[in-house]
């Protein structure tokens, strides 16, 4: 785990772990914006002028130092001439956990139970299934 990295949220500097999922999301989005800008050969100030955003703010966004609004990201996408989805495509979406390994382990545990104990476990299993299926 790395050292906390500075992040500006609502105008105040805060420390966040570099492994924080929100921080990771901001870094990936920042990289996508920076790469699109570089592909067009634009300076931060030029992109800012196209988007109606200060060049210094573009720099903060590209360094993932600010948590900017989706509206501002849309303005940047328009200024880059790309759809918003293209910038967001590089940001990995969190996936649902894979329960297959847990199911296998639970099944093995159930198989090892004496048959007389199964009625004691059944209500718990039903409740667990309902919570997973939601």
**CATH architecture entry for 5-89:** Orthogonal Bundle (1.10)
Q: State residue 94's pLDDT score.
A: 58
Confirm if 17 and 7 have CB atoms less than 8 A apart: no
Structure tokens at 78: 């328009």
pLDDT of 44-92, one tens digit each?
999 999 999 999 999 999 999 999 999 999 999 999 999 999 999 888 6
Give ranges for CATH 1.10.260.40 in the chain.
Answer: 5-89
pLDDT of 83-128, one tens digit each?
999 999 888 655 556 667 777 777 788 888 888 888 888 888 888 7
- Total-model pTM: 0.59
């Amino acid at each position: 785990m790395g050292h906390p990295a500075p992040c500006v949220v609502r105008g105040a500097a805060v420390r966040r772990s570099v492994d924080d999922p929100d921080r990771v999301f901001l870094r990936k989005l920042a990289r996508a914006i920076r790469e699109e800008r570089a592909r067009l050969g634009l300076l931060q100030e030029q992109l800012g002028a196209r988007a109606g955003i200060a060049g210094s703010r573009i720099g903060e966004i590209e360094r993932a130092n600010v948590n900017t609004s989706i509206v501002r990201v849309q303005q940047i996408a328009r200024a880059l001439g790309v759809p918003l989805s293209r910038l967001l495509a590089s940001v990995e979406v969190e996936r649902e956990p894979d329960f297959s390994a847990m199911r296998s382990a639970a099944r093995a545990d159930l198989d090892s139970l004496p048959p007389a104990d199964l009625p004691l476990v059944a209500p718990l299993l039903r409740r667990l299934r309902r919570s997973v299926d939601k």
